[in-house]
Amino acid sequence: MAAVKGLRINSTQKLVLGYLAVIFIGAALLSLPVATRDGNSVGMINALFTSTSAVCVTGLVTVDTGTTYSLFGQIVILLLIQTGGLGFMTIASLAFLLVRKRITLSERLIIKESLNQDRTAGLVRLVRRVLLLTFILEGAGLILLSTRFIPFYGVEKGLYFSLFHAVSAFCNAGFDLIGNFQSLAPFRNDAVVNFTVMGLIVLGGLGFVVITDIWRKRSLKKLDLHSKAVLKMTAILVLAGAALFYIMESGNPATLGADDVNGASRVMGAFFQSVTVRTAGFNTVAQPSMALASKLGVMLLMFIGASPASTGGGIKTTTAYVVFKTAFAVMRGRDEVNMFGRRLARDVVMRSVGILTLAFAIVFGSSLVVLIAEAGTNKPFQSIVFEVFSAFGTVGLSDGITPTLAPLSKLMIIITMFAGRLGPLTLTMAFARRLHSAAGKIRYPEDRLMVG
């Protein structure tokens, strides 16, 4: 632990401060005139918003990435996305490994917090696997996307676009270079682009622990409890979301029911929407034109988000799974929460309920502030709430109101993106004062309280 003016900074606080440092460095670079095509600075607020969105792998933007930022600015955004997706300590560990610098215990503790691990043993080996898997999967995405982008954009631009979108997809960032806020809409009927991006999003959203567990064991039966819960919940969310979007949007001429979208493309579009709304933020259909029921489903999926130790945000799939299983246990009159033949520890259940409660508080509070800041602007209620859910889930989808948000609203969305990426419990633990006293060990008499 480091001491600063008598204060001891723990690993959680160092993690938060590290992300803040990367965000502000990125904002400073993006605010430079050289970062834009026309040589005019986008301003500190827009630069801070973009940097936060990139580091928190969200994808919400106040200015169009493809048409506003120069090659320098786009490369800065790409590096911020990669740093945010892997975690700044994973990137730092790569630098340490390259120069053969020993990773200290203090640095291992930050890596442990960043990758959501319970112990420090084997962390360097895990970091090596994370880096190797990332570069292999992003490389594979680059190759597949280049088969479509090179014929469309030419060799040089096609390879660059393939690299940018492969990294953005695997890191669940949702940034694109297509231009004019189109995202991947021009490629909505292209199976290679759709399935490549979906594959990268899903793999990035599963979490590095799950991917390495699958890689090592190569058998679903032998997987850890965490991996089984993540895979089951991910499959349920993807299938349920795809069914909802297909039912609700197939007859909508502004989305999946458009004349140029055939039957197979409608199914593909429904799955793409289901996959991307949980954490990624790419889109192939116009979000503002979706039915209200679809938007409600999107907000639920965004709120749940990806899985722990992944490149996405939200309360996480395992948290939602534990809360659902706890509710079912209560309805059945059981005192224990069981899954896959295992009994969950009490602290896991309490942590999950705490995360859910804090997340609702963050989303509600942020929505209230933005609604107040946007009073009199005639922005629809659902569009503002949709924006907040997207920020917390680090998704990046929008009803098109992001560029016109008031400065206070942008700052609130920045805070919400940061909270969604690090997690409400991590931020609470980082900023809450720890009370080291005997009072914390006292057990009070048990009593009853009427609830429900």
* pLDDT tens digits, one per residue of 17-59: 888 999 999 999 999 999 999 999 999 999 999 999 999 888 8
Is residue 169 within 8 Å of 204, Cβ to Cβ?
yes
For 3-35, b/e burial (b = at least 16 CB within 10 A) is eeeeeeeebbbbbbebbeebbeebbebbbbeeb
Give 259 or 375, the one with higher predicted confidence.
Answer: 375
pLDDT of residue 348: 87
User: Quick one: pLDDT band at residue 115, thresholds 50, 70, 90?
Assistant: low
How far apart are alpha carbons 203 and 2 in whole angstroms? 36
323-327, long-range: CB < 8 A, 24+ apart: 323/352, 323/353, 323/356, 326/352, 326/353
pLDDT of residue 220: 80
User: Quick one: pLDDT band at residue 287, thresholds 50, 70, 90?
Assistant: confident
* pLDDT tens digits, one per residue of 126-161: 777 778 888 899 999 999 999 999 999 999 999 999
How far apart are alpha carbons 144 and 193 in whole angstroms? 8
pLDDT at 1 > cutoff 50 = no
How far apart are alpha carbons 130 and 351 in whole angstroms? 26
On average, the pLDDT of the chain sits at 85
Q: For a pLDDT cut of 90, what percent of the chain falls above it?
A: 50
How far apart are alpha carbons 85 and 179 in whole angstroms? 23
User: Quick one: pLDDT band at residue 295, thresholds 50, 70, 90?
Assistant: very high
pTM beyond 0.75: the answer is: yes
Query: How far is C-alpha 392 from the chain's CA centre?
Result: 8
pLDDT of residue 420: 87
How far apart are alpha carbons 151 and 165 in whole angstroms? 16
pLDDT at 415 > cutoff 50 = yes
Instruction: Please give the angle made by the CA atoms of 180, 183 and 186, to the nearest 5 degrees.
Output: 90
pLDDT at 8 > cutoff 70 = no
> What is the chain's alpha carbon radius of gyration, rounded to the nearest angstrom?
22
pLDDT of residue 431: 59
Any residues with CB less than 8 A from the CB of 441 and at least 6 apart, and which? none
pLDDT of residue 104: 61
Any residues with CB less than 8 A from the CB of 377 and at least 6 apart, and which? 404, 406
Closest listed residue to residue 318, CA positions, set 213, 236, 427: 236
How far apart are alpha carbons 414 and 31 in whole angstroms? 16
How far apart are alpha carbons 355 and 385 in whole angstroms? 20
pLDDT of residue 436: 46
* pLDDT tens digits, one per residue of 187-201: 999 999 999 999 999
In order of 85, 118, 175, 236, 345, the CA distances from 338 in angstroms are 32, 21, 39, 18, 9
pLDDT of residue 437: 46
Is residue 51 within 8 Å of 27, Cβ to Cβ?
yes
Tokens coding 242? 């795809």
Give 279 or 392, the one with higher predicted confidence.
Answer: 392
From the CB of residue 80, how many other CB atoms can be counted at a distance below 10 Å?
A: 29
Any residues with CB less than 8 A from the CB of 274 and at least 6 apart, and which? 237, 238, 239, 240, 241, 242, 244, 245, 301
How far apart are alpha carbons 163 and 142 in whole angstroms? 5
Give 145 or 437, the one with higher predicted confidence.
Answer: 145
* pLDDT tens digits, one per residue of 52-100: 999 988 889 999 999 999 999 999 999 999 888 876 556 656 555 555 6
The sign of the dihedral angle between the CA atoms of 177, 137, 16, 35 is: negative
pLDDT of residue 379: 92
Any residues with CB less than 8 A from the CB of 153 and at least 6 apart, and which? 161
User: Quick one: pLDDT band at residue 314, thresholds 50, 70, 90?
Assistant: confident
* pLDDT tens digits, one per residue of 215-243: 888 778 889 898 999 999 999 999 999 99
pLDDT at 111 > cutoff 70 = no
Residue pointed to by tokens 């917090």: 113
pLDDT at 449 > cutoff 90 = no
* pLDDT tens digits, one per residue of 344-384: 888 889 889 988 999 999 999 999 999 999 998 889 999 99
Is residue 256 within 8 Å of 285, Cβ to Cβ?
yes
